Amino acid sequence: MSITIALAGNPNCGKTTLFNEITGSRQHVGNWPGVTVEKKDGIYKKNKDVVIMDLPGTYSLSPYSAEEIVARDYIVKEKPDAVINIVDGTSIERNLYLTMQIMETRIPVVVAMNMMDEVEGRGDRIDCGRLSGLLGIPVIPIVARTGKGLNELMEAAIATAKNRRQPEQPPIFDSQLADAISAIADALGGADSAENNWKAIKLAENDEIIARAVPSDKKGAVEELVKAANKVSDGDAEAKIADSRYRYISKLVKECVKKGSKGSQETRSDKLDKILTNRILALPIFAGIMYLLFACTFSENFLFIPELPSPGVWLAGIVEEACSFVAEGVIGAVEGLGASEWAVGLVSSCLDGVGAVFGFLPLVLVLFLLMSFLEDSGYMARVAFVMDRIFRHFGLSGRSFIPMLMGFGCSVPALMASRTLESDKDRKITMMITPFMSCGAKLPIYAMFAATLFADSNQTMVVFSIYMLGIIVAVLGALILNKFAFKSETSNFIMELPQYRIPTLKSVLIHAWEKVKGFAVKAGTVIFASTVLIWFLSSFNFSGMCDMEESLLASLGNGIKWIFAPLGFGDWRASVGVVTGWIAKENIVATFGQLFGNVSEETVEAVMAGEEALPAITEVFNQVSAYAYMAFNLLCMPCFAAVGAMKREYGSWKWTLRAVGFQMLTAYIVALLINVVGSMIF
């Protein structure tokens, strides 16, 4: 029979890192609360009969947030065979509060004392054996990110699960409060039941969810006993229970933890935060770091050295050459087999479309590697903290910036993460503006235009400015929505800032690979299917095979191009690109690859060397209209998958259509302003 072990712990305690290590799973390791929105499962890589459930990070089992509700419901209702409670050894007092609450459920539990390397680095010492004896449960020291102690931890957890070794209730409460809780448990059906005892504690804490579940025939008696518990607790049993837990934790820490001489010294994180979260310096530093990220991805003169390409550009060149070599070989083979003209055209068109997307894959990889490093180091959590100062002026809390940061990867999980926002107003506004972030699928669009229309300009600055435009428009959009559509108060923002850590190579690679894999899979499925459809529509009309200008696709594009003419791109091919981008944003590059021919950086280099004529895309766009086109696709309705995520989170089509309408109107106005003002200046 299989064994189910749940992982529970505070945000930033290393829980998801541990999950990845023991299951080999590829979950994203984040540094902010709420990244694990739902519980996830995996199989222990050394024993296929052991199922590991990764629960959301939570500070307690009191239902104050969506994460805590998910974690508590699983532990209390599903009753796993054992719980591994991950405790951050550098913040042991705060982390043990959750341990006390898990023990109160009487579910078998093992404590994983994590980050012992940092504890020792501070000169501190935690006597895990002594702590285990006092708690009556196994306490195993580990370092999750390096794998140290994980074998011992899993052996202890499996043994605990098999034996169903329930922890004893720690002697936390004084006699009066303990008797009052016992009386509530008796009224519920008997104090000898672990479940009744836990419910009694929760009722004394004024837990509304548990109170609503009390049977009607027992409700009156229970309410009277809860009043009695409050009376012996100076009018507030909830506060006394919390205080009793912390008093007991203080005794444990006093006996089991020895602070070293470095404990009172200023930490490395404290010193860095004086600079990176400085009221004046924080935003310029953030902008500078983001610019460096794009320089490493797009710069032709890396580190200001002429003709030294950045890692992204260098890798993109290799992939483009490989794609061209494969395409020539495949087309040659198809022609050699005596295929008809339409079959050769279909193969060539598909290779152009998919190859155009794959050509920009290295740029996506390099950018995500660098962003993963920043996330796992703890810096991005500081950015959310810094942005709270700005967002508060626009009616949002800094917590809204967390889904927006995730939006730089993909809008779908970013929209799902908005469910962790406590304010309904914040949640709705955040879902409207999160798609304004430049997800990974939009990056190839920018790269394509940077390579073709901005070849003689600062390409890094062009792409950087588009990313910054998304953030600026999102902030201004929040201001407008807060002023005219929502008028409730701004919610508070409380967030734990993790210690700065150098991420492991494995963690960074896992995060980047997940993003790139999704990009590549989409190119091989959705985009491939789209290229076939685009080829058919661009090669046929109702009379049969025809020139592209007379095709069904041209008819569609010509029918809607008047909408985009004021924005500077009134060509039918540009209009079609916008529409296909709603299926998947990468589709725009695939569409242009088919309708305009080669739009790669390799082509532009050949043009500049006089070896090729200008690609057809330069006949439709100039730099101003190209920038307006990028801005429109940045801000307009996201892909259908993201719209579906919006519908799930809003729970209604009315709010979903409102959000899409706001995004389309914003995109149109911004692109129009760029085209009008830009045309006047340039």
Q: What is the pLDDT of residues 121-141, one digit of tens each?
A: 888 899 999 999 999 999 999
- Residue 604 has a pLDDT of 42
HSE, CB side, 13 Å, CA atoms: give it for residue 380. 25
Span 495-539, pLDDT tens digits: 667 778 888 787 788 777 776 776 677 666 777 787 888 888 888
What's residue 222's pLDDT?
85
**Res 601 pLDDT > 50:** no
pLDDT at 114: 94
Answer with the residue of higher pLDDT: 473 or 34.
473
Place of tokens 């005596």: 338
Q: What is the dotted CATH code of the domain comprising 175-258? A: 1.10.287.1770
**CB distance 144 to 17 below 8 Å:** yes
Q: How far apart are the first and last CA of the chain?
A: 72
From residue 115, give the alpha-carbon distance in Å to each of 46, 125, 264.
Answer: 23, 12, 19
Mean pLDDT computed over 588-598: 78
Asked if residue 610 has pLDDT above 50, the reply is: no
Q: Say if residues 226 and 204 touch (Cβ distance below 8 Å).
A: yes
Distance CA 447, CA 349 (A): 21
User: What's the DSSP call for residue 192?
Assistant: T
What is the pLDDT confidence band of residue 664, given thresholds at 50, 70 and 90? very high
* Listed residue (475, 381, 466) closest to 434, CA to CA: 475
The region of weakest confidence among 223-237, 398-412, 537-551 is: 398-412
**Predicted pLDDT at 35:** 40
pLDDT at 352: 72
CA neighbor of 110 nearest in space, from 137, 73, 71: 137
* Of 524, 678, 532, the residue nearest 591 (C-alpha): 532
Cα separation, 672 vs 682, whole angstroms: 15
Q: Where in the chain is the domain with CATH 3.40.50.300?
A: 3-163
pLDDT at 219: 86
- 183-221: pLDDT as tens digits: 988 888 876 778 888 888 888 888 888 888 888 888 888
Task: Report residue 654's pLDDT band, with 50, 70 and 90 as the boundaries.
Answer: very high
| Kind and range of the H or E run holding 492 | none
Residue 650 to residue 652: CA distance in whole angstroms: 5
Is 487 a residue whose pLDDT tops 80? no
Compute and round to an integer the Cα radius of gyration of the chain. Answer: 29
* Whole-number pLDDT of residue 264: 57
E runs forming strands in 210-307: 257-258
359-368, 439-448, 511-520, 625-634: the lowest-pLDDT one? 511-520
Q: What is the rounded average pLDDT for all residues in the chain?
A: 82
Q: Which of residues 16 and 473 earns the better pLDDT score? A: 473
Burial 236-262 (b: 16+ CB within 10 A, else e): ebbebbbebbbebbeebbeebbeeeee
Neighbours of 225 (CB within 10 A): 23
pLDDT at 615 exceeding the cut of 60: no
Which of the residue ranges 233-242, 248-257, 313-322, 464-473 would you say has the lowest mean pLDDT? 313-322
CA 656 – CA 663 distance, rounded (Å): 11
pLDDT band at 491 (very low <50, low <70, confident <90, very high): low
Give the model's pLDDT for residue 645: 81
pLDDT of residue 31: 35
Cβ atoms of 169 and 104 closer than 8 Å: yes
Is the pLDDT reported for residue 340 higher than 70?
yes
- Topology, domain 3-163: Rossmann fold (3.40.50)
If one compares 30 and 352, the residue with the highest pLDDT of the two is: 352
| CA 457 centroid distance within chain | 33
Q: Of residues 357 and 230, which shows the higher confidence score?
A: 230
Tell me where in the chain the CATH 1.10.287.1770 domain(s) lie. Answer: 175-258
CA distance 659 to 665: 10
Please report the sign of the dihedral spanned by the C-alpha atoms of residue 117, residue 121, residue 122, residue 125: positive
| HSE value, Cβ hemisphere, 13 Å, CA-based, for 20 | 20
CA distance 561 to 580: 14
679, pLDDT greater than 50: yes
Instruction: Flag whether pLDDT at 370 surpasses 70.
Output: yes
Closest CA to 362 of 410, 327, 323, 319: 319
Instruction: Tell me the mean pLDDT in the region 269-292.
Output: 87
Q: How confident is the model at residue 619 (pLDDT cuts 50, 70, 90)?
A: confident
634 vs 399, more confident? 634
Contact in structure between 94 and 86 (CB atoms under 8 Å): no
Q: Which residues lie closer than 8 Å to 127 by C-beta, 6 or more apart?
A: 255, 256, 257, 258
pLDDT on residue 261: 64
Q: Is the pLDDT assigned to residue 455 strictly greater than 90? A: no
Crossing angle for the helix pair 361-377 and 282-298, nearest 10 degrees?
Answer: 150
